[in-house]
Structure 1
Amino acid sequence: MSSGSPLVAVVLPPREGFGPGRTGAIGLLARRLVQTPGFDTVIIGGKQDGPVFPGVAFRPVEPALLALGSTNLRYAAAVARVLKKLRPALVEVHNRPELALALAAKLPSTPVTLILNNDPQGMREANTPAERAAMLRRLARVFTSSDYLRRRLLEDVPAPEKPPLVLLNCLDLKEIPPPEPREKLILFAGRVVDNKAPDAFVAACAEALPHLPGWSATIIGADRFSYDSPDTAFVQMVRAAAGPAGVRMLGYRDHPDVLGAMTRASIVVVPSRWPEPFGLVALEALATGAALVCSPRGGLPEVAGEAAVYADPDHPAEMAAAIRALATDEARRAALAEAGRQRAKQFDAPVIASRLADLRRAVLGG
């Protein structure tokens, strides 16, 4: 951090992993945007259980023991002490309105922005329209990872002076493994929790696989993004249904292994029953050249566009029909794969980093 460029302090949620084997979508996004042109970056996050990603300036911080309030507020107190020493030109907080507002109050001369990766309706200090309106006034700017989230943020909020702007999530196409021969594999990759609907995937595969000789189905994922993820009652329920359906469950795998599996899979299914704020797994499937079947909810249509087949996760028969149709139509799979690879280029890290650089300069110049 000695280039003379403005220093940006990127603040992760206090429990976000930032190293191999324990990183979720927010940590991956922050890592990819470290090289945003024209800026030096330091990542501030909670204490890590192992090594962090190499080549990144990272400052671990633990919530202040003597501070009052929630974990976010105690974490903010500790982060503020670090920031006062670093004296960044800009503070960029990921996905914690309460944390961003606390830092803005503690650092009144430093602009603080917020990048929302999830629905703010349900977050501390952003639950109500009045809270969201106040947040938009008090922060230097708020960015959302999809237009769906932007609309949720503005729901019932009077037109703000500084309206939120969309900053799409990204992936680094250089991290995508080289193409491999496609296996007759139908893949689910993601957290094994209710809102991601792995149970709907299992139900669809139970209906589709008997009609697809030579095909197999696999779930990669666990309740959390870690190898020691708990074996929850929901995971056990999905596992009990997966065996009779012919679906293998591999548990948690590190991100490069997930991308490798997508590169081999012919079909990737993203059956989320909740409105996905963005849909990073869907984007990764497009980039790896798998044919994508996904839910039409939330931000997923913004990600996939016309490069996917959409199916309602509440109707497994509809999803099974989509899987069967693709599995038996190699030309259709090839067309979707090419459309997906082309669409993924819009979300490549250098493209989004350039957009972020423009947004940062506007904040600092404004």
Structure 2
Amino acid sequence: MIRPAAIVLPAREGFSAGAVGAIGGQVAALAVPGDVVVGAPLTAASLLPRHDYRPVRPGLWPPGGRSVRYAAAVTRVVRDLATDVIEVHNRPDIARYIARHCPRQRVLLVLHNDPQGMRGADTPALRADLLRRMTVACVSDWLRGRFVDGVPAHHAARVLLSPNGAVLPATVPPMAERAQCVLFAGRVVADKGADLFVAACAELRRSHPGWRFDMIGADRFRVDAPATPFLTDLAPRADAAGVEMTGYRPHAAVLSAMEQAAIVVVPSRWPEPFGLTALEAMAAGAALVVAPTGGLPEVVGDGGVLCAPDPPAGLARAIASLMDDLPARQTLAGRGRARAPRFSIERAVALRQAARLAALHHGAG
């Protein structure tokens, strides 16, 4: 049964063609007819199409920080909507505020990042309190483990799994016809290992002169992303390593680049809560090299080469082993394509709907 919801974005999450991150992109992909998306004010002409978007403008009341005023503004909108479930993304403090002030509606908190670093969920007591007030769903089992850590078992059993999803192209270019290109796509920040990718490419450029090295991304998922000190420092090293930095590109352009590249690398330092880039690379038919941390191993399975990205010399060796072996690339890409349907959009929608249904019955009986 399709259960529409009011979907609350984080205050700084984009929902327009020129500025949308992983959370906004997943909300757009998994929304069903009747859903209402609530978030920060955006230019109407730039909004993602085919979605009912309601902007909220925080006022001066109640007293407190920006998060409290945003939660209050969201509450004024969602409590008047004809939806039984309010789906709050990645903000435990806002979800708690809404649960207190919208008693006729049920709250589903969907977590995309480690709750142990979030305001309102950073202790076991706070996480247990959230479960008394609402239903919680996590995008990976690794993330679910972080949420239930220290939480009483009778509460922990109610934390659900609601993974991200990706569009699965019906066909992709065969490996033998792809460009000899090694691709990094994502935020160009230290956590994502952008500098480790550049360092590995510096070694690979000398041994594989026929290959190209591309980096798509910026500090943020928007066209006007700032030139940060990290980017300013990385740019000359990337140039010396033969890495072409293209900056931010729309999501469709990123997916197209993945379908043309032979190898995609996800060298994250931090434990990725899910690893959507890795999933999209598998769906696109690229050979994948990925860090073995966070939720990445459960998403990738045998569909990629797991390799610690630091030191970069080890990362370079893992990439080189694929550059030197077309059959190995073909086999790995085939395994990735076979695994990707576990995280199709259709399955992700079904699991999100199941989480909404669980939220609707939270506390019943």
TM-score (ref. length: structure 1): 0.94
Give the counterpart of 2:269 among 256, 270, 273.
Answer: 273
1:244 aligns with 2:240: yes
The answer to whether the 8 A contact 2:258-2:284 is kept is yes
Q: What SS does the corresponding residue of 1:40 show, helix, strand or coil?
A: coil
The answer to whether the 8 A contact 2:107-2:359 is kept is no
Q: CA deviation at 1:132?
A: 1.3
Q: What SS does the corresponding residue of 2:79 show, helix, strand or coil?
A: helix
The answer to whether the 8 A contact 1:172-1:349 is kept is yes
The percent identity for this pair of structures is: 47
Give the counterpart of 1:319 among 310, 315, 318.
Answer: 315
Distance 1:160 1:46 in 2: 36
Q: What SS does the corresponding residue of 2:118 show, helix, strand or coil?
A: coil
- Superposed counterparts of 1:3-42, under 5 Å: 6-35=3-32, 40-42=34-36
RMSD: 1.7
Give the counterpart of 2:88 among 93, 108, 111.
Answer: 93
**Larger CA deviation: 352-361 vs 252-261:** 352-361
Amino acid at match of 1:189: A
1:226 aligns with 2:222: yes
Distance 2:171 2:255 in 1: 7
1:156 aligns with 2:173: no
The answer to whether the 8 A contact 1:133-1:160 is kept is no
Rate the CA distance shift 1:234–1:86 in 2: closer, same or farther, 3 A. Answer: same
Q: CA deviation at 1:239?
A: 0.9
Amino acid at match of 2:29: R
1:360 aligns with 2:356: yes
The answer to whether the 8 A contact 2:183-2:215 is kept is yes
Distance 2:133 2:359 in 1: 13
CA displacement, residues 170-214 of structure 1 (integer Å, 9 cap, x when unaligned): 11225x885374100000000011100100001111112211121
CA displacement, residues 92-140 of structure 1 (integer Å, 9 cap, x when unaligned): 000000110000011012110100000011111011121111112221x
Distance 1:287 1:65 in 2: 46
- Superposed counterparts of 1:31-70, under 5 Å: 31-35=28-32, 40-49=34-43, 50-70=45-65
Matched residue count: 358
Amino acid at match of 1:281: T
Distance 1:196 1:263 in 2: 21
Q: List alignment gaps of at least 5 residues for structure 2.
A: none
In the other structure, the counterpart of 1:198 is 194
The answer to whether the 8 A contact 1:67-1:77 is kept is yes
Q: What SS does the corresponding residue of 2:117 show, helix, strand or coil?
A: coil
Amino acid at match of 1:237: D
Amino acid at match of 1:333: R
Q: List alignment gaps of at least 5 residues for structure 1.
A: none
Q: CA deviation at 1:5?
A: 6.4
Distance 1:5 1:353 in 2: 10
Rate the CA distance shift 1:7–1:288 in 2: closer, same or farther, 3 A. Answer: closer
Q: CA deviation at 1:160?
A: 3.8
Q: What SS does the corresponding residue of 2:59 show, helix, strand or coil?
A: coil
Distance 2:65 2:140 in 1: 28
Rate the CA distance shift 1:359–1:295 in 2: closer, same or farther, 3 A. Answer: same
1:112 aligns with 2:107: yes
Amino acid at match of 2:118: M
Give the counterpart of 1:125 among 117, 120, 128.
Answer: 120
Distance 1:117 1:315 in 2: 28
Q: What SS does the corresponding residue of 1:210 show, helix, strand or coil?
A: helix
Distance 1:121 1:297 in 2: 16
The answer to whether the 8 A contact 2:3-2:357 is kept is no
CA displacement, residues 6-43 of structure 1 (integer Å, 9 cap, x when unaligned): 541011111111121210000011011112xxx62111
Q: CA deviation at 1:84?
A: 2.3
TM-score (ref. length: structure 2): 0.94
Give the counterpart of 2:296 among 293, 300, 307.
Answer: 300
Q: CA deviation at 1:48?
A: 1.4
